[in-house]
Chains A and B, each alone.
Chain A
Amino acid sequence: MKKVKLPFNKTDLKTLRAGDEVLLSGVVFTARDQVHKILSAKIRADQKKKTDPVFPFPVAGQTFYYSGPTPPPPGRVIGSAGPTTGSRMDRYTPLLLEYGLKGMLGKGERSAEVRLAVKKHSAVYFITYGGCGALLASHIREAKIVAFPELGPEAVWRLVLQDFPAVVAIDSRGKVFP
């Protein structure tokens, strides 16, 4: 079991191999379909204006957790918070990797394009236990909405993970597990 600190320092990320069991600790940002759509549209618009995109929350070097948590009940930092299907983000992922995204955490297989883009940009895709939102919430120490609160369940949460269990599904060399 490898311990991984987020955001990554580069050596850490490159030592990860597809199939490795890891415990993630540190910062991730939740991002689902609507956030991916908005960020991609922003990048495309800024490309046309030939300006560098400024995102409403950190993207470069960071990890996106594909999750839309339930609202925190009183006395808890977050509600149930398991992974959603990664392949729905496939169409947006190569562009975001180009703009510095380093890690993704979700569930399920990804497209061939995503695998190649992960390799090209030396990034990593982790998978975790689908449907285990209560268990995974117990590995989240802090949670705060930092962008797009108007999206409700699709708002961006900054989460601080502690020993969050995951498996490397695509490593920085483009190798896939299982």
Chain B
Amino acid sequence: MMRQVKASEISGRITELAREANFIFPGVLIRLIDRAVKREENPLAKQALGAILTNIRLAKKMPLPLCQDTGLVEVFLEIGSEVRINLKPFSCLEDVVSEGVADAYQKYFLRLSVVDPLTRKNTGNNAPALVHARLVSGNKIRIHLLAKGFGSENMGKVINLAPGSGCLDIEDFAVKCMEEAGSRPCPPVFIGVGIGGTMEKAALLAKEALLYPEELTVPNKDKELRTLEQNVLRRVNKSGIGPAGLGGKNTALAVKAKKFPTHIAGLPVAVNISCWALRVAHGTI
């Protein structure tokens, strides 16, 4: 039995998720920052973490976006195979999602940051959004929305390592990536590591690793990935970059790695960094 879902219901939900992501910081991640404040010994760094907590509170209360870079929106969809979406003639899923994003960015006074890559002409409504959709079983649509600021997005990297490389090489690559980024991606950061597949699959895995706040707060179930995450976190926090680049031992709040089988001849690895202000929201239709 097919379940009918109107396109307008999807775009309406996207609008509200875009608002939520930009104004409300995930509670489980506030606890990570609270813990960082307790651990931090550098007074300036402690103050910067305090400013972050105040900012989170003010953003919700005022209300103003957590950050002025309200990002490029990426939406990950899991669409149940029993769902039927009524699209307007000659339109596609990307249009529906982008319409929701455009509404949010105008309605909630968010910054319009999307431009033509060459002429730099603004699209005027923060659309289009990036859409990654998967068909799954069931009759629901799950939506995972990320508003990604480019201070941190600019610091991501992809590399094709030799197949003989191992966990240590991947760790080295991730740590070097963060050391080179310094305070540009607004530390304390979240680091996503994507391992395997192809170049673009690794990049997508690194991005997906940042998508779920709860996952960021618990150790990986996979033994190798868990060790890798812990080692990268420990090494990055020894870098001395610290909150807002003011020094101290809280440069990263969490590291999350995901993997996918790859070819005998290769080992693609991607690192994606998120500023502390991870703007994500999740919903189900």
Contact = CB atoms under 8 A, between A and B. Distances in A.
Contacts of B111: 68-71, 79-80, 153
B54 interface: yes
B54 to A, nearest CB: 5
Rank and list the top 9 A-B pairs by shortest CB-CB distance, nearest first: A130-B186, A134-B59, A132-B55, A135-B55, A133-B68, A134-B64, A131-B277, A108-B184, A80-B65
Interface in B56-97: 58-59, 62, 64-70
A103 interface: no
Interface string A42-79: 00000000000000000000000001111111001001
A84 interface: yes
Contacts of B168: none
Interface of A: 21, 34, 67-73, 76, 79-82, 84-85, 87, 107-109, 127-135, 137-138, 152-153, 165, 167, 178
A67 B111 CA distance: 12
Given A73-B109, A107-B183, A129 B52 contact: yes
Interface of B: 44, 48, 51-52, 54-55, 58-59, 62, 64-70, 108-113, 120, 122, 124, 149, 151, 154, 182-184, 186-187, 240, 242, 244-247, 275-277
B67 A133 contact: yes
B110 A138 contact: no
A79 B69 contact: no
Contacts of A21: 44
Contacts of A87: 184
A79 B55 contact: no
Contact of A130 (B70, B108, B183): B183
A73 B54 CA distance: 20
A68 B58 contact: no
A80 B154 CA distance: 21
Given A70-B111, A71-B109, A131 B66 contact: yes
B68 A82 contact: yes
A79 B122 contact: no
A84 B69 contact: yes
